[in-house]
Structure formats: structure tokens, C-alpha cells
Amino acid sequence: MLNLRYIHIFYIFVLYLSEMTTFTSTLPDNILQLLHETAKKLAVPKNKLIEKALTIYLDQLNKAEYIKSYKEMADDRDVQMIAEEGMAEYLTQLNSED
């Protein structure tokens, strides 16, 4: 009789594999050497190391874009006026609740 635990693990494994796409690229030899050494040192597959590094890098780019948009809004007088009007209304609401 099949154990349900093994069926569940197999299903997760197949689901995980089905969400992967093969990607081929070229990298400079020194980067490939660093990748090989780091993957060996950390005892992780190279593709997992690339996946993690790329995920972190893309997340940092996203955060930098977010920060840039906030800085641009800080210099926008219209946005400042809207924020100040909203804060005044919020303070009025707080005072009326007391």
C-alpha cells in the first residue's frame, strides 16, 4: 500500500519541477570560477546559488526604485499639499474622538 506521505512529497516535487524553465547564458570565466568555488564552499548547487543571488539583486533593484519614487514625491509640491491636507483632516478626527 502506498504511503500518503510519499505521494504528497512526490506531488510537491513534481509541482516544483514543473515551475522551472531552462535558461542558458554566458558569463565571464572569473565569475564562473567564483560561482563554482562559492557553491562548493556552501555545499549548494550552482543553480540554487544563482537563483538566490538573482532574487536578492532583483529585490534590491525593486526597493531602490521604490525609494527613488518616494524621493521624487518628496520634491513634488502637489503631493506635499495633499499629504498636509490629509494630516490636518486626520488630526481633526483624532481631536473629535477625545
User: What per-residue confidence (pLDDT) applies to 96?
Assistant: 80
Residues of the chain with pLDDT under 50: 1-4, 6
Instruction: Look up residue 90 and give its three cell numbers.
Output: 486626520
C-alpha to C-alpha distance for 92 and 89, rounded to whole angstroms? 5
Q: pLDDT at position 1, please?
A: 45
